[in-house]
Amino acid sequence: MTTPTAPTGKGSPQRPSSMAPGPYRRAQVDPLAGLRAPADPPWDVYLTGPVFLDIIFTGLDSAPVRGTESWARGMGSSPGGVANMATALARLGLRTSLSAAFGDDHYGDYCWDALEQGEGIDLSPSRTVPGWHSPVTVSMAYEGERTMVSHGHEPPPEAVSVPGGAPECPPRARAAVASLVPGTRAPWIAQAASKGARIFADVGWDDTGAWDLAGLADLEHCEAFLPNAQEAMRYTRTECPREAAHALTEYVPLAVVTLGAEGAYAVDGRTGETAVVPAIAVEALDPTGAGDVFVAGFVTGTLADWPLADRLAFAGLTAALSVQEFGGSLSAPGWAEIGAWWRQVRSLDRQDPEALRRYAFLADLVPKEAGRPWPLRRAVPTIGFRSSA
């Protein structure tokens, strides 16, 4: 999927934008409150990429069987794709700007309004593509895993400016999150870095099998690289995730390797500092979007200048909270859920003191009031209820 040309709002007269460039929705907690200054960029994080409509079925006892009908006990719908990351960042209190193409169908209406009105994400760099339908993913969650079926078409050539989906002029932001593609440069990454943005990057599976770090040319613009253990070991030709993390610091200042159920390991090549944080044991309902939530948590802690171990712990916590709900953007936790979790674990008898110390930095961050219950059910089973008016 590609991303539209210029920051023209929705770009179609039948869909005027209800949010002018600049405003954002205030979260319960602003993790950067003590760092903000008048000359700061207008946005904390910029992203670009495809937005899908995700329809998620849960409560399946097993994988669907050919020739039969399966009934799911749960269902949700939400914006997906790059919207997972954008939503996770916005719910953590970061002023988030997204450039994406939206279809001019009802699915596109729903995704736009959910992101702009529901999450307070700036969509002024985005636009609607006339005559183009929204890409859709149907996800079926069972046995702690998921199976997905997607459908979509590339936007027409006149709707984009740079192959690969990069807008010509990314807005000024403290940071940007990029998904690197082997063998491909995304011009917007260099442009954002030249404006002072700190680039955080992840990467997908290399279907070519080359696993060549030289093919990730945009790493030269990145401050942090966050692959999973298998990706990190394949790219560095190592047999240990920690060894892979150290090897990656020859290419990027900060390497973070996620270890699945074992947590995560990080190395700051500039200072030699390392950190390892075990994963929080939870009953996983749906892992969709957990990687995006982890990155969002780590970006938040980094921009807030937290110690490396706190950043890693926070990223792991937000990811752990997300897998206990279903859907990508649906499950991204906000400060209400984080605060509820912190109060809950502190109330437990015979809690591990080391575990409490690991997350003690939350005490001065989470909302003091009880707020909404945790876990918070965000799922909306339909694309949108009819107005009662």
pLDDT in tens, 186-241: 999 999 999 999 999 999 889 889 999 999 999 999 999 999 999 999 999 999 99
Packing angle, helices 241-248 and 229-236, rounded to 10 = 60
Residue 376 banded pLDDT, cuts 50, 70, 90 = low
* Residue 65 backbone phi and psi in degrees, to 5: -110, 135
Q: In whole angstroms, what is the distance from residue 1 CA to residue 102 CA?
A: 11
| This model's pTM is above 0.85 | yes
pLDDT > 80? residue 16: no
Residue 94 has pLDDT above 80, yes or no: yes
- Tokens 């999450």 correspond to what residue? 119
pLDDT class of 386 with cuts at 50, 70, 90: low
Which residue is listed with tokens 């700007």? 97
By mean pLDDT, which of 276-280, 336-340, 376-380 is the weakest? Answer: 376-380
What is the C-alpha separation between 345 and 364, in angstroms, rounded? 16
Say which residue, 142 or 127, is predicted with more confidence.
Answer: 127
Whether the pLDDT of residue 59 is over 90: the answer is no
Question: Which phi and psi angles does 230 have, rounded to 5°?
Answer: -65, -45
Q: Which residue has the higher pLDDT, 349 or 186?
A: 186
- pLDDT at position 381: 57
pLDDT bracket for residue 25 (50, 70, 90): low
Residues forming beta bridges with residue 141, ordered by sequence position: 146
CA 385/CA 229 separation, integer angstroms: 42
CA distances from 162 to 187, 196, 236, 241, 341 (A): 8, 21, 30, 35, 43
3-state helix, strand, coil in the chain (%, to 5): 30, 20, 50
How far, in whole angstroms, is CA 95 from its chain's centroid? 14
Average pLDDT in the chain = 85
pLDDT tier at 8, thresholds 50, 70, 90: very low
Compute the residue count for the chain. 389
pLDDT of residue 281: 82
Residue 10 confidence (pLDDT) above 60:
no
Is there a contact between 2 and 101 (Cβ–Cβ < 8 Å)? yes
Look at residue 73 in the predicted model and tell me its pLDDT: 85
* Banded pLDDT at 319 (limits 50, 70, 90): very high
pLDDT at 137 over 80: yes
pLDDT of residue 260: 85
Pair of tokens at residue 199: 């680039």
Residue 347: is its pLDDT beyond 90? no
Task: Please state whether the peptide bond connecting residue 353 to the residue before it is cis, i.e. omega within 30 degrees of 0.
Answer: no
**pLDDT greater than 60 at residue 2:** no
Residue 285 has pLDDT above 70, yes or no: no
Look up residue 179 and give its amino acid: S
Q: Residue 113: phi, psi to the nearest 5?
A: -65, -35
